[in-house]
Amino acid sequence: MNLIKTPWGSISTNVSLFPIYYLIFIYGFVYILPFGEKIVGLPWFYYLKKEDGVLESLQSIQYFVSSLIGLFIFFRIKKKKTLNSFIWLTFSIFCFLIAGEEISWGERLTGISLNSITELSIQGETNLHNLPFFHNYLLDPALQAICIFFGWIGWRKFPSLSSLPSKKLSLFFLFVSLFFAYYDLSWASTIEHIRDDTEIFEFLLSTGIFLHTFKYFKKYKFQKKIKS
């Protein structure tokens, strides 16, 4: 249980406050940090969120490690034909696909690409999430639905499923859903478009998923088999 100290006393909370501290650090400190252009050629804030930048690279690593942990847990589960084991397996595959998509399946590292995909991609890269139909109509709604499910519906409706993130991690997902809802609204309306800070918030999503899988890795790593 976390405690928030105020002049009027302490407020207890059952959720992790890391997302709040992280956003305060990013927007209250990194955003105004000087000398970025002299050292790395960009303000520190933009250096963090740029393409192939620090946050995107960390996301890819977190998703890849999470996919391995999810697979590890799946093989440790004794009963494979349960909903919980199926979700762990799906979770692992899902994380592996996102890890590959984040780095365009190594295209920018190896120079190897699929022309049939890059010619259609909005960013000219070898990935599926930037294909026009998926990027323009499916990506953000799917992301928001997943975040609401992980951050609110999952732990409330299915508390017995270890494969779904717990209430403690809810802010990692709900903040992401809230940002993307407001971001998409600004582009769909006549108001001024807000700045593209998607990488800042996507890092919260990948961190929440990583912490979820790592929690159960620590719990199950010395157990030979898990009942369900």
Q: What share of the chain is helix, strand, coil (3-state, %, to 5)?
A: 65, 5, 30
Domain membership flag for residue 36: no
Q: How far is CA 106 from CA 55, 127, 209, in A?
A: 16, 10, 22
- CB-count burial class (<10 Å; 0-12, 13-18, 19+) for 157: exposed
Q: How many domains does the chain have?
A: 1
Domain membership flag for residue 121: yes
Domain membership flag for residue 79: yes
Domain membership flag for residue 170: yes
Domain membership flag for residue 35: no
Q: How far is CA 24 from the centre of its chain?
A: 18
Distance, in Å, from the CA atom of 152 to the CA atom of 176, rounded to the nearest integer, reads 12
| CB contact at 8 A, 62 and 209 | yes
pLDDT, tens only, 71-103:
999 998 888 889 999 999 999 999 998 898 777
Domain membership flag for residue 227: no
Domain membership flag for residue 38: no
User: pTM score, two decimals?
Assistant: 0.86
Range of the domain at 132: 51-220
Domain membership flag for residue 225: no
pLDDT range class, residue 39, cuts 50, 70, 90: confident
